[in-house]
Amino acid sequence: ETNTLPFHPFENQQGDILRVEKEHQVLKEQLKEAEEKFEQLQSRSLEEIGALEELLKKSVQETEVSQNELDWFHQDSDTQMKKWQQEKKENRDNLKALRSTAKKHSDTNERYLKTINDKEKQYNGCLDKFLETSNKFAHDKGKLEELIKKSQDDSQECEKRAVKAEVSVLQTWKETEIWKLKGTIAKAEGNLRMLKALSSSASAAPVLKSQIDSWEIFIANVKKQLEKVEAEYDEKIELVKNGARNCLSKVEVVDFPFP
């Protein structure tokens, strides 16, 4: 459509059709020039014939002057007639050559016109086919764009649901681990309270002090573990909400043995 590439199969290279049209125009101009030259030659021949006829008339009128002049006139007339006949023959040959050239140019012109008409029909057919295909592609493109938009909407919805599901799983794991650690802490604190109650006796205090210290250290470690687990799960949940991937994994929990 933009005429920037050769139009196959009508052009082997860009500008073939334009070059043929220019050659056709040059041939038309040459034919016109030949016709004008022929008309000039014909006009000059007619003028020379008129002049010779006038000279012949004058010679006839002067026949009475002298026989010598009459002979000279006949001689001159014969010479002029031969010259005129020679020029007429040359003009006839030139006219024949010009007619042959004109016929050749006319045949070439008709052949070029027929070729141009055929190429134009083929071009119009290809153009119609191209426009039909283009319209079909535009229609298909519209459908594909609608499907892409729908797929994008579905993908966004699935992504939201997936994020929600991952957050729910991480929240469940977090609550489970926190429940376990808090249960451990509650049990350890119960044991600690019982040991402290038993250590109220002066005789038992020295024996139970090391055990009480062990349980206090145990409870402190579990509380640190609880804070760590809670912080790491919160961080994973925040990353998932912000679009991060591959975050669905459990936080490693250290299992401290009971004292």
The pTM (predicted TM-score) of the whole model is 0.43
Task: For residue range 197-210, list pLDDT tens digits in order.
Answer: 887 765 656 677 88
Residue 26: per-residue pLDDT = 92
Pairwise CA distance, residues 138 & 105, whole Å: 47
Task: For residue range 130-180, list pLDDT tens digits in order.
Answer: 999 989 889 899 999 999 999 988 888 888 888 889 889 988 998 998 999
Residue 4: per-residue pLDDT = 64
Residue 156: per-residue pLDDT = 85
Task: For residue range 84-140, list pLDDT tens digits in order.
Answer: 999 999 999 999 999 999 988 889 888 899 999 998 999 999 989 999 998 988 989
Pairwise CA distance, residues 217 & 222, whole Å: 9
Residue 257: per-residue pLDDT = 83
Q: What is the DSSP letter of 181?
A: H
Q: Residues 6 or more apart from 115 whose CB is under 8 A from it? A: 20
Q: What percent of the chain has pLDDT over 90?
A: 26
Whole-number average pLDDT of the chain: 85
Bigger pLDDT: 132 vs 255: 132
Residue 257 preceded by cis peptide, ω within 30: no
Pairwise CA distance, residues 31 & 106, whole Å: 9
Q: What residue ranges do the domains of the chain occupy?
A: 160-242
Q: Inform me whether the pLDDT recorded for 11 exceeds 80.
A: no
Residue 66: per-residue pLDDT = 65
Residue 198: per-residue pLDDT = 80
Residue 240: per-residue pLDDT = 86
Bigger pLDDT: 223 vs 70: 223
Residue with tokens 């049990």: 187
Residue 176: per-residue pLDDT = 92
pLDDT confidence of 239, banded at 50, 70, 90? Answer: confident
Residue 201: per-residue pLDDT = 67
* H or E element that contains 255: none
Pairwise CA distance, residues 256 & 221, whole Å: 8
Phi and psi, residue 251, nearest 5° = -75, 135
Tokens of 118: 């055929």
DSSP line for 205-250: HHHHHHHHHHHHHHHHHHHHHHHHHHHHHHHHHHHHHTT--S---P
Residue 50: per-residue pLDDT = 87
Cβ count near 148 (within 10 Å): 10
